[in-house]
Structure 1
Amino acid sequence: MKMKGLVALVNGASRGIGAAIAREFGKEGAKVVVVARTAEPGGRFPGTIGEVAAAINEAGGEAVPIQCDSTQEDQVERTVRQTLERYGKIDVVVNNLGVMIVSPVVSTQPRHFLLGLRVNVYAPFLMCHYALPSMMEQRSGSIVNITSGAAWSRNGSNYAATKAALNRYTICLADEVREYNIAVNALDPGPIRTEVAEILQPPDHNWSAYAPPRAMGPPAVFLAVQDAKSFTGQVVRREEFRKTWPPVGNP
């Protein structure tokens, strides 16, 4: 198992991409901390942190759910503290948070623009801010930020700006923590047929180009086990895994 003995905190893991990554980590032997806001069923979208953690445990892995609104500093600090109290370390952080504000600038409410910044940029910063000291002390770890191809888009300026900011943050942070042997990378999922996407898209939507959430598992596992000497400071696409990245010779 590629992640045996590692402690992985997966943020935004109650459904979709985050849940799929959490399950894959569990299958690969990691102790998984399943983090998201949704702890109780009955909301607009299916999936809870408890359900994801239970699925990992039932499959023979180890997982614990922690409810957290990652835009709130006190909740992020508590989540990291509880993880360290339970396991004594954090080896991997996955920031899988996202809110998509795609309306034209003139019709976007300022509060909605700020929401995009808080969820897509500020929340990953908070998790890194509180998780990194432990990683720096142990001189190892990996941070995986889930980004979007929208960062290179010529439309949807609000959402594109936040994901472009996350990409730049990833690249800069990688250099900042390189001396501590911590890898920091961003992974672009491409089109994924998540539960939320199925609800939001019209019934006749063409899903032929979409991958299932489980397709995110293998590339996320690869990034999770990297360090600053092997693979860091990269923004990579899920569709290109084992094609254009990683470099030849990196297993």
Structure 2
Amino acid sequence: MADLKGKTLFITGASRGIGREIALRAARDGANIAIIAKTDTPHPKLPGTIYSVATEIEAAGGKALPLKTDIRDEDQIAAAVAKAVATFGGIDILVNNASAINLTPTLQTPMKRYDLMAQVNTRATFACAQACLPHLLKSDNPHILTMSPPPNMSPHWFANHPAYTLSKYGMSLATFGLAAEFADEGVGINSLWPVTVIETAALNMIPGLEAGRARKPQILADAAHAILTSPARQVSGGFFTDECVLQAIGISDFEPYNLTPGKEPFPDFFYEADKNGANDPHVARLLKIIAGKYKN
């Protein structure tokens, strides 16, 4: 696949941030985008609504379907999937981007916040996959891409915010399990994670970060595009970083992605250079397939 023209993407958390950027990148190819998010009216503190992003998608050359959806509710997910299929004729790609974050230690984590992260992160990833898979299996190049980190059992990733880590690793284990279950069905099921902090609304929830030391979400959109245009049957079960994907397709200068020119961005949570990305033999093999597609 050279691009995503005519493909239908079901993207959660698409009203802002990384989800919006992935949608706009696909829209420039002429893709159809189901915008899955709860924000249908302007938020006093957060940018974007499903309708503002729909306008941007149409202006970029894509087709948009804004769907107000609470992904904690499987009935609302099912209704959104049915509407996307009725509108566009199917679903080719699911992007599990929506995520809740609360970086607190155990004794400072209200169970209400624990439940929110468990529902939005782990449960919704599984529920959206379950709802989309019957339609993905009919696509000629189906993908599920989840924004979650490579599983890493180093204790320090758990010590400061175990509830959040459990919920994000639940998303990653969903990738691991679904990729194994559907290995013979031709669905590419992968995860993608940034090497550095990314400028999103969640950035404001991370204490102690110097302003401007982050990358733009476009870096993840470009990496996601490379994965989603790869041959699904051959590229599955990978835990990719944005840098390793872009390096595989010939992009090694990441300075244009920096939020502030000349300022080195902070490393992101869950990233360890010796344990992530192309250092994993399976990921290294998958990157060669992705690179081969682009070189051709």
What TM-score, normalized to structure 2? 0.78
Name 2:198's counterpart in structure 1.
192
Aligned counterpart, 2:252: none
- What is residue 223 of structure 1 aligned with on the other side? 227
Aligned residue for 1:249, secondary structure, equals helix
Which digits, 9 at most, give the CA deviation of each residue in 1:94-122, with x for residues without a partner?
01111112211122122221211101110
Indicate the percent of aligned positions where both proteins have the same amino acid: 27
Instruction: Letter of the 1:189 partner, please give it.
Output: P
Match of 1:180 in 2: 185
Per chain length, whose mean CA-contact separation is higher, i.e. which structure has more relative contact order (CA < 8 Å, sep 6+)?
1
Q: In the alignment, what sits opposite 1:167?
A: 172
1:235 CA drift (Å): 0.9
Residue 211 (str. 1) matches residue 215 (str. 2): yes
**How many residues matched?**
249
How much does 1:167 deviate? 1.0
CA RMSD for the aligned pairs? 2.1
The alpha carbon displacement at 1:250 in A equals 4.2
The alpha carbon displacement at 1:93 in A equals 0.6
| 1:116-135 matches, cutoff 5 A | 116-135=117-136
Greater displacement, 60-69 / 76-85: 60-69
Distance 1:157 1:200 in 2: 16
Q: Distance in 1 between the 2:21 and 2:37 partners? A: 14
- Are residue 108 (structure 1) and residue 114 (structure 2) matched? no
**Counterpart contact for 1:34–1:63, Cα < 8 Å:** yes
Tell me, in whole angstroms, the C-alpha distance in 1 between the residues paired with 2:103 and 2:202: 16
Contact 1:139 1:180 in 2 (8 A): no
Q: Distance in 1 between matches of 2:4 and 2:188?
A: 15
* 1:74-101 deviations in Å (ceiling 9; x for gaps): 1100000000111111000101111112
1:249 aligns to 2:263 (yes or no): no
Identify the residue that residue 34 of structure 1 maps to in structure 2. Answer: 35
* Partner SS for 2:184: helix
Normalised by the length of structure 1, the TM-score is 0.91
Q: CA deviation at 1:172?
A: 1.3
- Preserved contact between residue 41 and residue 47 of structure 1 (Cα < 8 Å): yes
Once the two structures are overlaid, the 10-residue window that deviates more, 120-129 or 52-61, is: 52-61
Q: Where do 5+ consecutive residues of structure 2 fail to align?
A: 248-277, 279-283
**In structure 2, what is the Cα distance between the partners aligned to 1:55 and 1:196?**
22
203 and 116 in structure 1: CA distance in 2 versus 1, 3 angstrom threshold = closer
Q: Which amino acid aligns with 1:212?
A: K
